[in-house]
Amino acid sequence: MARALPLDEIPVYGKHNLPSKETDLKEGGMFIIDKPLEWSSFDVVKFLRKRIRVKKVGHAGTLDPLATGVLILCCGRATKSISLIQDLPKVYTAEITFGQATTTYDSEGEVTETADWEHITKEKIESALADEFLGTVEQIPPMYSALKYGGKKLYELARKGEEVVRLPRQVTFHEHSILNFAPPKLTLKTICSKGTYIRSLARDLGEALHSKAYLSGLERTSIGHFSIEEALTPHEMGDQLKEIWLN
């Protein structure tokens, strides 16, 4: 069985570094992609698999269709190292809207509840984040998620109107920074561990502030030291690769 390659041994391809025509991508490579809005993570894999010209391609950490930002694709031997990338801390810029709860905890779902939000201040948000959402905490995943229950994905059950008890999972929040608060919308930078649902953070923060809230926007700006500044969209990467292969 092939061993996982150390991350520092895997070539990284992005805005300022691309493979050459002679590169054998079956030996392994990582592509830093800026996932577009409304693309699933697997949409990106399917799109680039043909252009990378390697059958073995996978992504290292799902982004929801309504989220954008850094998605790392691994190809060839580098797919053995996906778990190492998933273990790296993630940085997100999240927009959270107070005053409403939704079925999916984000803007894709139906509104289920409304609540007052006028009492929420920046100081109260900072206090709630420091008291309840720093360090290792327990978080209940959303019903609309790809986690499995009884062999079925939770979102499949949710779409049938079913709800099951989800056990809390331990996640770690390393840091929060309020970038802007224009009530009822909060823009928050969050550094967190793998397995964290920012949708659940939005929902739980609303509850902690005696209101309701949902995630109205999300961008992943980095995974470890892999940053959005180095990322190309799927079409940009595809165009670059086409030019390389043809020349």
Global pTM exceeds 0.95: no
How far is 176 from 232, CA to CA, in rounded Å? Answer: 27
Alpha carbon separation from 53 to 5, 23, 100, 178 (Å, rounded): 20, 11, 45, 42
Selecting among 8, 24, 64, 131, the annotated active-site residue is: 64
Q: Do the Cβ atoms of 30 and 59 come closer than 8 Å?
A: no
- 140-197 pLDDT, tens digit each: 888 777 766 577 676 676 676 777 777 899 999 999 999 999 999 999 999 999 999 9
- Looking at residue 1, its pLDDT comes to 53
- The pair of three-digit structure tokens given for residue 142, joined into one six-digit string: 């959303």
31 pLDDT band (50/70/90 cuts)?
very high
- Is 64 known to be catalytic? yes
Say which residue, 65 or 180, is predicted with more confidence: 180
165 vs 132: CA distance, rounded Å = 22
pLDDT band at 13 (very low <50, low <70, confident <90, very high): very high
Q: What is the mean pLDDT of the chain?
A: 92
